[in-house]
Structure 1
Amino acid sequence: MQFKVTPKVGPRYWTAISIASICGTNLGDYVPDVLKMDPGTGLLLLAVVFAGLVIVDRLSKRGSEAFYWLAILTVRAAATNIADFSIGKAHLAYTLVATVVTLLLCFLVALQLRVTPRSSTGDLPPTSGFYWLCMLTAGTLGTVIGDGLGHSFSSVSIGVPMSAGLSTVVLATLLGVRARTVLNSIVSYWIVVVAVRWWGTNVGDILAFVMSLSLSLVVSGLLLALTLVLWRKRETQRGIGESAVGA
C-alpha cells in the first residue's frame, strides 16, 4: 500500500490535512445521511474506493500526490462512520470508545516505532498498510473526542462551538511545540493527527449546519484542491517538492 508519491510534512501538509479532515468528516456523514447507506455498506464502499486508489497508484508510471490525499479523505470518512456507529448504533459510551481506541492507537504506534527507521524532520511515516490502519484509528479517536465534547453540554449549539474552539487552541499549541522542539517524531505526528481529526470533526459539523452538508463537502473539497495546487507551485519555485517513494 506504499504510495509512490507522498507529501513532505510541514505547513502545507498540516494545512491540507486539516482541511481534508473537514471534508472527510462531511464525506463520512454524506454516505449514511444522503446516500442512505447502512454502516456496513458504507464502509465497504469506502474500502473499495481505497483499494481502487492503491491499485491505480501501483499501475501508474510515476504515481501522484493526489492519490495520497484522496486516500486521506476516504480513510477520514471511514473513521467518521466507525465512530458514529460505535456511539449511535452500538450505543457505547464516549469514554469507553475513546479509551479502547486510545489504547489501540498507542499499541499500533509502539509497533510502528519498532519497525520504522527514525524519520528525519519533514518525513512522512511510510504509507504502508500499517500507516493507514494508524490513520483510521487516529481519525476514529479524533471523531469520538470531538463528538463527545460537543455533546457533553445541554445543547450541541453550545457544545460543538466550544469543542471547536478548544481543539483550535490544542492543535495550534501542538503544531507550535512540534515545530520548535525535538519532538518532531512519529509519536508527535500521530498526536497532532488526532488533534487535527478532533478539530475537523467539530468545524465540519459547524459548516454543514451553516451551509448544508452537501455544500460544505463541495466547498471544503475545492479549498483542499486549491491549497494543494497553489501551495505546491510556491514550494516548487523555492525548490521544495514532493517526496518520491520507490514502488
Structure 2
Amino acid sequence: MDIAGGGRYAETGKYVLKKLPEVTLAFWVMKVAATTLGETAGDLFAQTLKLGYFLTTIALFAVFLVTLVVQLRSKRYNPFFYWTVILSTSMAGTTISDFMNRDASSKYLKAGATSLGWGPQGLGLGYPVGAAILTSLLVLTFALWRVTGLTFSINKIDTFRGEALFWTAILISNTLGTSMGDFLSDSSGLGYLGGALLITGLLLVLVALMKVPAVPNVLVFWFAFVLTRPLGATAGDFLTKPVAKGGLNLGTMGSSAVLLAILFGLIAYAAVRERRANPQGVVLAA
C-alpha cells in the first residue's frame, strides 16, 4: 500500500519525513552527471585557475560542509539540497584525491610550470597507496555504521546519525572513485574512453546481479555508487583533456558550464516530480 504518492507500507505504521531520494534510473543519470561535473569543476579550480590542489581542497571541503549542514537541517527531501551535496562531495573528492596521489612533478604539470597554486603541491602517494587508504577508511565507516545497527538502505535512513554516516561514506567513496578513475585514465593504459567503457561494463554486471536473489540490493547499490564516480572521472577527463592525450579538448570551463546546465535541469525536473508525487514529504518507516 502506498501513502502520499510513493510512500511504502510498514507494519509499524510509523511516519517519517523523507530525506533521501528514491533510487531510480533518473537517480543514476543524475549521479553520473554530478560526478562528471565534480571532476571537471575540481580540475577547473585546481588546474585551469591554478589555485592548486591544497587551496582548492580546503575551499571545496568548506563548501561541502555548508551544503551538508543545509541538507541535514532540512526537514524533508529537497532535490536541490541533496544533489548540491552530491556535487560538492564530487568536487572535493576530486581535489582531495589529486592532493593525496599527485605531486609537483612534470607528469602532473603543464609544460614549463614548476608549481601549482600556493602551499603543498601534493603528497605524491600514488594511486595504489591512495586507493588503499581510502578503501580502508570506507570499510571502517561501514563497520562503524554496522555497529550502530542502523540501516544501510538509502530508502530507509530516517535519523540524523544515519544520514551523517551516509554522507561520510559518500565523501570517501567519491574520493576513492576519483583515484580509481585517474588510475584507469593515466596509469592503466586504457585511456579515458577505455576506462569509461570498463566501468560501464562493470556497472552492467551489477545491473544483472540485481536479478540474483542471493545478492542483496543494498550491496549492489553501494558498489554501483562507488563505480559511478570513476565513470564520472574518466568521462570528465575525456571531455577536457587534449586530443593528443585521448580527450576531446573541450576545456574544463566549457564542459563544466554545459554539465552544470544539464544537472540543474535534471534537479528542476526532480523537484517538480517530487512535489507532485509526495507533496507532504512523508513515508511510512520500514
Question: TM-score if structure 2 supplies the norm length?
Answer: 0.72
Q: 1:129 to 1:40 in 2, by over 3 A?
A: farther
**Is 2:260 the counterpart of 1:221?**
yes
Which residues in structure 2 correspond to 1:50-129 (within 5 Å)? 50-57=64-71, 64-89=78-103, 90-118=123-151, 122-123=155-156, 128-129=163-164
CA distance in 1, matches of 2:278, 2:165: 27
Q: Partner letter of residue 36 of structure 1?
A: K
- Structure 2 equivalent of residue 173 of structure 1: 205
Higher helix share: 1
CA distance in 1, matches of 2:280, 2:136: 33
- Structure 1 equivalent of residue 183 of structure 2: 148
Contact 1:109–1:134 at 8 Å: present in 2 too? yes
- Structure 2 equivalent of residue 15 of structure 1: 29
Question: TM-score if structure 1 supplies the norm length?
Answer: 0.82
Q: CA deviation at 1:24?
A: 0.7
Q: Partner letter of residue 28 of structure 2?
A: W
SS for the counterpart of 1:9 is: coil
Q: CA deviation at 1:116?
A: 4.6
Between the two proteins, what is the percent identity of the paired residues?
A: 28
CA RMSD of aligned residues (A): 3.0
Equivalent pairs counted in the alignment come to 238
CA distance in 2, matches of 1:242, 1:149: 44
- Structure 1 equivalent of residue 172 of structure 2: 137
Q: Which has the larger radius of gyration?
A: 2
SS for the counterpart of 2:22 is: coil
Contact 1:5–1:64 at 8 Å: present in 2 too? yes
Contact 2:209–2:220 at 8 Å: present in 1 too? no
Q: CA deviation at 1:173?
A: 2.1
**Is 2:195 the counterpart of 1:163?**
yes
Contact 1:10–1:122 at 8 Å: present in 2 too? no
Write out per-residue CA displacement over residues 37-59 of structure 1, whole angstroms, 9 at most, x where no aligned residue: 23332122113222332444567
Q: CA deviation at 1:208?
A: 1.7
CA distance in 1, matches of 2:21, 2:77: 12
Q: 1:241 to 1:152 in 2, by over 3 A?
A: farther
Point out the more displaced range, 122-131 or 206-215.
122-131
Write out per-residue CA displacement over residues 122-149 of structure 1, whole angstroms, 9 at most, x where no aligned residue: 4468663322221121112111111112
CA distance in 1, matches of 2:188, 2:72: 47
SS for the counterpart of 1:33 is: helix
Which residues in structure 2 correspond to 1:23-34 (within 5 Å)? 23-34=37-48
Contact 2:178–2:233 at 8 Å: present in 1 too? yes
Q: Partner letter of residue 10 of structure 1?
A: T
Consecutive unaligned residues in structure 2, runs of 5 or more: 1-16, 104-122, 242-247
Contact 2:19–2:158 at 8 Å: present in 1 too? no
